[in-house]
Amino acid sequence: MLTAQDNELTRTNRGTVAGECFRRFWTPALMSEEIPEPDCPPVRVRLMGEDLIAFRDSSGRAAIVGAYCMHRQVDLFFGRNEQNGIRCIYHGWKYDGDGNCVEIPTEPATSTYKDRIKLPAYPCQEHAGFVWAYLGPRDKPAQFPKFEYMGLPKEHLYIKKSLLECNYFQALEGHFDSSHIGFLHRFMPSAGNTPPVAGLALGGPKEIATAVRDAAVSYEIHDTDYGFMLAAKRPTGNGKSYTRITQWLLPFHTMIPSTQGETLLQVAWVPMDDEHTWVYRAQYNPWRPISKEEIHEIENLGVMQMSVQNIPGTYVPVRNKGNNYLMDRNLQRTYNYSGIKGNNSQDACVTENQGPTPIADRSQEHLVVGDIGIVRGRRRLLKMLKDFEAGIEPPPAQNAALYKMRPIAMMLDDGGAPFYEAAKEYLYV
């Protein structure tokens, strides 16, 4: 368990240690589709407790600036996006995409007062359908993390955004825990032609299916400069283990494994504020286009890893905390272990309901051997934050090449080379 003091790693507002450290990294801020064309309406953005607006200016450039006019603090969401700037509807003050005040119509033409007015504004980059922002100090720029999926043809990529009503870290920690797969995502034997566990391909090898149902997972962890590799090993007999190697890339990116040639999943767990998380999912395949069958599985809550449906016109999941994830007790008896459709909805259920508040109280936990990934993840993040307090900048923010990684699920020999050596040719892009 963590002490109450160490549990403060969950807080990311400006002025907190984690908040200032995380601002040293480029962060997914919104989907490109949210600002689809030049001079379209602005949209609200909230990142790490900070209220912002995003807009696409007349030249097509994405911009993210502070949400409130410097004059009377009116919300610029109601402003007019026109002629390469956002104009407040109250008195007409106008700002460009860099936050510069370019017009104060009520001031004399000779006034230079506007030159001393500036909104908070953050650099943006667009890649693979996401708009990223850098919220850190301009004198400490970060390298942009060009993950593998960003360079793929669009046919190889499927992206999605959704909301979680909990703190980012308890959502993130779910990917450090492989033992829950055999319970939370399990189908019942009476369910017919379904895999025994959600996320396992139909028709997968029988020995893997049997191994995945085993909750007694053994773990090995390899610390890296970017975070760690977590190997979840399940014996299959004949001196081999089915090994799932998950990647954690600081501060809040995870990569979930599939077998060689199959579609991979990368997730960014972005703090909206201390009690809400934006989840950005990129399902991608470096080797081939994503098939129509896979897209059907994704969009219709099949067993694909990104099976989540949003309320039309929003990024709020159809199955959410307010409606108990549409849990069906009859379904729970006859079809799957949870009675909730879609493994991301199942994950949301357990991550959003860890105690009575949206921030889990880790001082009340009782951890066991199977939680080693959870323990090591917390220690790793706490170390980065303590180093940051001591004046050490987070290494991955300064070295984008560290993010050239993949996850993998494969059979490995028991008692052979360390997993990160045995699978080396599959892990590096």
Beta bridge partners of 310: 317
**pTM attached to this predicted model:** 0.93
3-state helix, strand, coil in the chain (%, to 5): 30, 30, 45
Label residue 277 left, alpha or beta by phi (over 0 means left) and psi (-120 to 50 means alpha): beta
Q: How far apart are CA 381 and CA 250, in angstroms?
A: 8
Contact at 8 Å (CB) between 350 and 174?
A: yes
Q: Which amino acid is at 87?
A: R
Q: Is 8 helix (H, G, I), strand (E, B) or coil?
A: helix
Domains and CATH numbers, the chain: 26-134 (2.102.10.10), 148-427 (3.90.380.10)
pLDDT in single tens digits along all 429 residues of the chain: 678 788 888 999 999 999 999 999 999 999 999 999 999 999 999 999 999 999 999 999 999 999 999 999 999 999 999 999 999 999 999 999 999 999 999 999 899 999 999 999 999 999 999 999 999 999 999 999 989 999 999 999 999 999 999 999 999 999 998 888 888 888 887 655 555 544 444 334 555 555 555 546 889 999 999 999 999 998 887 888 999 999 999 999 999 998 888 999 999 999 999 999 999 999 999 999 999 888 887 777 655 555 688 999 999 999 999 999 999 999 999 988 899 988 889 999 999 999 999 999 888 888 888 889 999 999 999 999 999 999 999 999 999 999 999 999 999 998 889 999 999 999 998
Name which of 33, 68, 34 is nearest 50 in CA terms: 68
